[in-house]
Amino acid sequence: MDTQVKSNPEPAEEQQQDKIKIAEDFKNQANEYFKKQDYDNAINFYTQAIEANPNSAIYYGNRSFAYLKLEWFGYALKDATAAIELDKNYIKGYYRRASAHMSLGKFKEALRDFELVTKIRPNDKDAKLKFVECNKIVRKLAFEKAIAVEDKRKNIAETINLEAMTIENDYKGPKIDEESKITLDFMKELMDLYKKQGTLHRKYAYKILLDIKSFFMSQPSLVDITIEPNKKFTVCGDIHGQFYDLMNIFELNGLPSEDNPYLFNGDFVDRGSFSVECIFTLFGFKLLFPNHFFMSRGNHESSTMNEMYGFHGEVKAKYSAQMSELFNEVYNWLPLAHCLNQKILVMHGGLFSTDGVTLDDIRKVDRNRQPPEEGLMCDLLWSDPQHQNGRAPSRRGVGCQFGPDVTKAFLELNKLDYIIRSHEVKNEGYEVAHDGKCITVFSAPNYCDTMDNKGAFINLNGSDLTPKFTTYVAVPHPDVKAMAYADAFYCI
């Protein structure tokens, strides 16, 4: 006769100790991935640590930091708050939450977190410094808002006097011809100048900005593009100030021309430290080929993003604060989306927080402003696809996440075939999702000199509009690191 031996269950305390040990093992693995800048795997293991032991503020704080690295500010904010709720004295939780708030342009909320840190640690010099710096930003924004209310007619473009700007005798760079039009020779000279780390004369730089602003002001928020049968059309994603990789795209795919049209889908600047070179190259080609070169606004074509991620600092270093303000005016007029052959909608971010949005609704968007925190314009710049059906709050904290069913309904309503968007780093430079109806393209390889991703662009043929992908790796660039012009205060 068999006998069954019953084992005594482990005491609850021992079980808890085992869970804590398992959680620590997961955390240690996550930390190793974090050190390697593999943030996706780091998040995966921090999540497992939290599941094993949900009572550790450190796990939430670490995962929040990893989310910040991926620019998932909404998730970072949620985790930092969870860490603080577990441990009111967990200083890094306040720092993480402040960083998330700042990245979302919520400086008053960030200031409150820094103030709490100074109360918890009144002798912490770093906390005091960050409180003072954040307070300066809040005061500055309040002052600028008051000035804007007092003078709504303020227009930097109208204050620029090109005739008063003289060309020094020792200037050896490209010049705009007497007819005041950009030529192909000018563009080739400009790119050669930039490859040698030269600087375009400020008179020509200002002229490009004034001309491009006038052009964009004449454009609708949704631009319709016709690709002729058997003609090639190229769509590129984020460039993010990586000028030498932009040059590589032109090496691989040919220079823009009437026979080789391009659409660059937002986020031309920030992060990479050659953003000035990128934007003037792109604006120059837009002026040279206005009907065969297109640019969509990205979420980084905004004052808040540019202050934090380096572009404004770079413009001020290479030109002036006045030019930095003029860029804000120009970006406000960038189109928000493009429709190719009435079949493909291209936008930087994604689809919408509400059903029933039509192409005509996009055409009617008043875009001459800084990006709002909600609505159609916000979603076009910020939203991301998700694998599951329905919608969810954005992991970025702005816009929404939309599923395959949302994409399908939008395409059916507007009689479209698929959408192309950018906005997210992809290991291969692109991703096809939602049953082939939602394509992501990202054109900045080894993003921020750290991500080791490939870049990609899409070639379309007007006859069938079937996407064909070209991928490439990063090329060498001068020893100027990403974020070199960003204010260190924003990089907590």
Comparing CA positions, the residue from 443, 458, 16 lying closest to residue 237 is: 443
Angle at 247 between CA 241 and CA 252, to 5 degrees: 130
Check: CB of residue 213 under 8 Å from CB of residue 397.
Answer: no
Q: What is the DSSP letter of 479?
A: S
Place of tokens 């503020």: 57
CB 295 within 8 A of CB 327: no
Which DSSP symbol is given to 438?
E
Q: What are phi and psi of 359, to 5 degrees?
A: -60, -35
Nearest to 295 by CA among 308, 306, 280, 309: 280
Neighbour tally for 126: CB within 10 Å: 12
The amino acid present at 229, given as its one-letter code, is: P
Collect all residues with Cβ–Cβ distance below 8 Å to 433 and sequence separation of at least 6: 385, 387, 404, 439, 440
Looking at the DSSP bridge assignments, the partners of residue 402 are 385, 391
DSSP secondary structure string for all residues of 136-196: HHHHHHHHHHHHHHH-TT--HHHH--GGG----TT--S----TT----HHHHHHHHHHHHT
Strand order in the sheet with 400-402: 384-385, 400-402, 391-393
The backbone region for 158, taken as left when phi is positive above 0, alpha when psi lies in -120 to 50, beta otherwise, is: alpha
Joined together, the tokens standing for residue 423 give 């906005």
- Which run of H or E residues covers position 217? helix 202-217
* Whether 477 is catalytic: no
Q: CA-CA distance, 274 to 38, in Å (whole number)?
A: 25
First-last CA distance in the chain: 69
Q: Which residues, including other chains, have CB under 8 Å from residue 187's CB and lie 6 or more apart?
A: 255, 281, 284, 285, 288
Partner residues linked to 346 by β-bridges = 338, 420
Length of the chain: 492
C-alpha distance from residue 280 to each of 201, 285, 313 (Å)? 12, 9, 16
Catalytic, out of 101, 201, 300, 348? 300
Contact 234, 264 (CB under 8 A): no
Burial class (CB in 10 A: 0-12, 13-18, 19+), 396: buried
- Tokens 């662009």, residue located: 457
The helix (run of H) or strand (run of E) holding residue 96 is helix 91-103
Question: Would you name the residues annotated as active-site residues?
Answer: 300
